[in-house]
Amino acid sequence: MARADTNTAFARGFWILAPLWLGVIPFGLAYAVSARSAGLSLLQTQALSALVFAGSAQLSAVGLLAAGAAGIEIVLTTLLLNVRHVLYGLSLGRELRLTRRERPVAAFFLTDEAFGVVAAAGERSFPFLLGAELSLFMMWNLATLGGFLLGAAIPDPEQLGVDLIFPLAFLALVVPLVRTRAELLVALTSGALAFGLARVLPGGLPILLTGIGGSLLGAFLTCGTPADRSIHPDDAAREVA
Amino acid sequence: MSFWLTLGGMVAVTFGSRYAGLALRADLPDFWVRFLHFVPIAVFASLVTPSLEGNQSEWGIRVTAAALAAVAAWRTCQLWVAVAVGMGVFWLLRIPF
């Protein structure tokens, strides 16, 4: 019984992110094509997808490699793009009781999207998180392989407009989370702040700064109200995703 | 060789960022518990607006598609319905009349 529960939680997590494959596949293809044109071998291209598993960081790294950047510049750019995950981990760590063995696994495959569905859905379990994580990991790596082998015969994701899927998905995740005036104010302010910051700062930095700024605003706005310390706070948002 | 060294560095900073937050298990003061409650809201909102615009001067139809997707998300609370509505509207509006 427990085993069946685990399997179905994993499957629910896995399939919940399936609509995003439509966005992941063209980006994986585009990444692989860029990597190939930057002179990377198949092994190198695939190793980045399997071991780093961070789309925006991989694309920037490939661009930097093509431009002849130094290794340290690439590593620092990667850090800048991915340091927002610290916030995700802090948030997940409160929602989810993970064992010492589960933690590094959950961390290795963590993405914006996997954090998103776990934080927004009421379902907070390791198998559900892992299902969501591996759903994207599998597709990202298959698309990388396919893109490298197919080469330049790949349409540009922006041309197809499928890059719009990612903001739509996060919009769908944030809408049900907003129920109080403080939450609405934080959402609107964060959206505006990120929009402004993205014009002057690179990559993941606007997300990190907005994540900190917006959450500080929320914490200040709710001063005087007791914090909800339960593992499963609220949720009208339980049914999301 | 230098590629694999760079890759190692990328893996270290990426995994480090992903693991650091999860590994930190402290009993936080109320203020930071409330702070963490707002993290998903602030982060998701910041993942929406900058990439909504796109590079092809289609911001009008992209914002329209997003607005209808938001209504769909609000009414149904289903991720895939919101994405389907948004992309459907976007592709329809994109057809040159």
- Asked whether residue B19 carries a pLDDT value surpassing 90, the answer given is yes
Would you state the structure tokens that stand for residue A211, as one six-digit string?
Answer: 């994540």
A203-230, pLDDT tens digit by residue? 667 888 898 999 999 999 998 776 655 4
Would you state the structure tokens that stand for residue B18, as one six-digit string?
Answer: 């992903």
Nearest beta carbon to residue A85 from set B17, B35, B44: B17
Mean pLDDT to the nearest integer, A187-193 = 96
A66-80, pLDDT tens digit by residue? 777 888 888 987 887
Nearest beta carbon to residue A54 from set B14, B54, B74: B14
Measured CA angle at A103 (ends B41, A88), to 5 deg:
15
3-state secondary structure of A120: helix
Q: Which residues of A touch B22 (CB under 8 A)?
A: 89-90, 92-93, 98, 103, 106-107
Burial state string for B35-62 with b = 16 or more CB within 10 A and e = fewer than 16: bbbbbbbbbbbbbbbbbbbbeeebeebb
Supply the pLDDT for residue A240: 36
Closest CA–CA distance from residue B97 to any residue of chain A (Å) = 18
A91, A164, A189: best mutation site toward chain B, by most B Cβ within 10 Å? A164
Burial of A100 (0-12, 13-18, 19+ CB in 10 A): exposed
Supply the pLDDT for residue B88: 93
Q: Residue A3's pLDDT band (boundaries 50, 70, 90)? A: low
Mean pLDDT to the nearest integer, A132-136 = 96
Nearest beta carbon to residue A207 from set B47, B52, B79: B47
Q: Which residues of A touch B93 (CB under 8 A)?
A: none
> In the block, which residue shows the tokens 């197809």?
A160
Q: Which residues of A touch B68 (CB under 8 A)?
A: none
Q: Residue A126's pLDDT band (boundaries 50, 70, 90)? A: very high
Q: What does the mean pLDDT of chain A come to?
A: 84
More confidently predicted of A194 and A120 = A194
State whether ipTM is beyond 0.90.
Answer: no
Nearest beta carbon to residue B83 from set A19, A65, A92: A19
Task: Look at A167 and B52 and tell me if their CB atoms are within 8 Å.
Answer: yes
> In the block, which residue shows the tokens 């190939």?
A36
Task: Look at A168 and B50 and tell me if their CB atoms are within 8 Å.
Answer: no
Give the residue from A73, A59, A64, A60 showing the smallest Cα distance to A27: A59
Cβ atoms A13, A135 nearer than 8 A: yes
Task: Look at B84 and A19 and tell me if their CB atoms are within 8 Å.
Answer: yes
Would you state the structure tokens that stand for residue B97, as one six-digit string?
Answer: 């009349």
Q: What residue spans of chain B are helical by DSSP H?
A: 2-23, 30-52, 59-76, 79-94
Closest chain A CA to residue B52:
A167
Supply the pLDDT for residue A54: 92
Q: A183 vs A117, A157, A189, A207, CA distance in Å?
A: 18, 33, 10, 17
3-state secondary structure of A226: coil
Supply the pLDDT for residue A238: 35
B32, B36, B41, B57: best mutation site toward chain A, by most A Cβ within 10 Å? B41
Closest chain B CA to residue A101:
B23
Would you state the structure tokens that stand for residue A35, as one six-digit string?
Answer: 């990597």
pTM of the model: 0.76
Mean pLDDT to the nearest integer, A46-52 = 97
Q: A9 vs A131, A238, B31, B54, CA distance in Å?
A: 8, 14, 32, 35
B27-76, pLDDT tens digit by residue? 678 888 888 889 889 988 988 898 787 776 788 899 999 999 999 999 98
Task: Look at B79 and A172 and tell me if their CB atoms are within 8 Å.
Answer: yes
Closest chain B CA to residue A178:
B41
CB-CB neighbours of A52 under 10 Å: 21
Task: Look at A20 and B17 and tell me if their CB atoms are within 8 Å.
Answer: no
More confidently predicted of A185 and B1 = A185
